[in-house]
Structure 1
Amino acid sequence: MSDRQKGLIDAFKTTIPNADIRYCCRHIWTNFKGKFPGVVYKEHFWKAARSSTVHHFNIHMATIKELNEDAFKYLSEIPAQHWSRHAFTSARKSGMLLNNCCESFNNVLRKARSKPILQLMEWIRRYVIQRCCAKREGLKIFEGVIMPSVVKMVHMGLKEASAMRINQAYLNEFEVDHEDDTYVVNLENRTCVCYKWTLMGIPC
């Protein structure tokens, strides 16, 4: 994931041609709002980025197009597979839209950035060792089987599921009504057309 700095994309294609490339949506939004400021643009940009189906993505892009043709054209020129969840490959079990991890690590490197390259690499090596050790020590007092972040996701899914209506179509296939939309879930294939849980690597 990158902020689309000049030269990065060409470098990726040369050095890691099979990598799945994504663009940080915060950087896209920062550049976008400089040309097209406004709360309505912000709302539909982020909804388009978080859309797990092409149908919802098109709805929000159409709204942006109604507001401003140039704004729509600006976003359309950025391939959706780099910034919108509906177009992400399911081979990568991550729906991340922001490069927060990179930004956090970059912030950590601030104190060592001025060092010569070999000293910088040694500083990073020791930092990673110390961090891994601290995490191991923290896990010694952890109680339970499932990590808190995963428990939170499960509870969120249960809350959403309680508001859904289910109609069985075939032995392993169901139609699920959620709010104003209907999704097809196949238990045998463990797929759902909402794409959300497939992308996150969670079986339906």
Structure 2
Amino acid sequence: MLHGSMYEHYNKIGGYIAALKRSSPGSTIELVTDISTHQNPPVFKRLFICFEALQKGWKEGCRKVLCVDGCFLKTFLGGQLLSVVGRDGNDQIFPLAWAVVEGENNLSWEWFFVQLQMCLYLGEGDGICIISNEHQHKAHRGEEMKLQFWKIAKSYNKADYTDAMDELNTMNPDAATAFKGYKPECFCRAFLDPSFRTDAITSNMVETFNGYIINARTKHILYMLEDIRANLMQRLMLKRLDMQKCTSTLCPKIQMKLETEKEKAANCDVTPSTETLFNVNYCLDQLVVNLEARTCTCRKWDMLGIPCCHAVACIFFLHKEAEDFVHES
């Protein structure tokens, strides 16, 4: 539990919450007090906030991916801020909800997820991908081991994953055994469900948000919450204005990723089988592209919804525009 003179300001916290609910009646704002102390005013314990505009924005314009993490509040009162961030259609972070809690423990996280489940109507979580952080395992160190770890984790398909795992086993059999023990199917791209349209396997999105509010985290709870609210309101407005200025068919960051694939497509050798099925040689790899199904055996197109370089080469072979083959979501 948090402790300190914060509780003398309980009435101010209650007034702040009441003001938020009046200004945004559809928002989810839940305050929990510690009733075991029998104090009057009650002792503050937890507070969850998810504004209606953020709920609506995530449901209508974001991928069904949630990244969660916690960070310390940098005051003498202690406590932590739990937050959840999504990814919008332009592949940028979309802060969704946050909560002030007594600390990172099973009870506070369970309460946080229950609040999130209710305000977003997540049900049993079907069709939702949740990314969380895990403590680093430092049994096997070294730059070479680190690079190999990421090579395995970032492999888009099981063939590349297997090859990278074999390389790790040759380098260090114990490390390979330990890697498999961490359930790679939970964090390696080769095992991700492509329907989520993301290749994110780290909590970088929410860590970016934690850095974005680092100054606010040094302030009293009321000033911190108001800073977060005001900063996000300004951020959403600026992002909206940027998108209104956009004249391209695709979102800017999606277009940039597609342009990168177009450049690599020059190194692909395309052999057509039918009007929609192609064999593609790229470096030492041989891949199959199906333009009708919008798939490639590399799985990158399947996972991101953006044509990979192999697919782009086939699209150019037919003298068509790659932008027309980007998934609408």
**Larger Cα Rg: Structure 1 or Structure 2?**
2
The counterpart of 2:220, out of the listed 115, 131, 139, is 115
- Amino acid aligned to 1:85: R
Q: 1:57 aligns to what?
A: 161
Helix, strand or coil: the match of 1:189? Answer: coil
Deviation at 1:157, TM superposition (A): 0.9
Q: Write out per-residue CA displacement over residues 57-94 of structure 1, whole angstroms, 9 at most, x where no aligned residue.
A: 11111111222222112211222333211111111111
Helix, strand or coil: the match of 2:305? Answer: coil
TM-score normalised to structure 2 length: 0.52
- Amino acid aligned to 1:74: A
Q: 1:132 aligns to what?
A: 236
Deviation at 1:167, TM superposition (A): 1.6
Which protein is richer in helix relative to its size? Answer: 1
**How many aligned residue pairs are there?**
195
Distance in 1, Cα, partners of 2:187 & 2:171 = 21
Q: Which has the higher contact order (CA 8 A, sep 6+)?
A: 1
Q: Does 1:21 align with 2:130?
A: yes
Q: 1:76 aligns to what?
A: 180
Deviation at 1:54, TM superposition (A): 0.5
Calculate percent identity across the aligned residue pairs. 25
Change in Cα spacing, 1:186 to 1:143, as seen in structure 2 (3 Å) is: closer
The counterpart of 2:171, out of the listed 61, 67, 81, is 67
Distance in 1, Cα, partners of 2:192 & 2:132 = 11
Task: Please say if residues 279 and 287 of structure 2, whose CA atoms lie closer than 8 Å, have aligned partners that are also in contact.
Answer: yes
Task: Please say if residues 22 and 81 of structure 1, whose CA atoms lie closer than 8 Å, have aligned partners that are also in contact.
Answer: no
Q: Does 1:174 align with 2:278?
A: yes
Distance in 1, Cα, partners of 2:305 & 2:281 = 22
Distance in 1, Cα, partners of 2:139 & 2:208 = 27
TM-score normalised to structure 1 length: 0.79
Which protein is richer in strand relative to its size? Answer: 2
- Amino acid aligned to 2:131: R
Q: Write out per-residue CA displacement over residues 4-56 of structure 1, whole angstroms, 9 at most, x where no aligned residue.
A: 98749x849x74552323355xx67xx24x22122321221111111111011
Helix, strand or coil: the match of 1:110? Answer: coil
Deviation at 1:199, TM superposition (A): 0.6
Residue pairs, 1:153-164, within 5 angstroms: 153-164=257-268
Structure 1 unaligned regions, length at least 5 = none
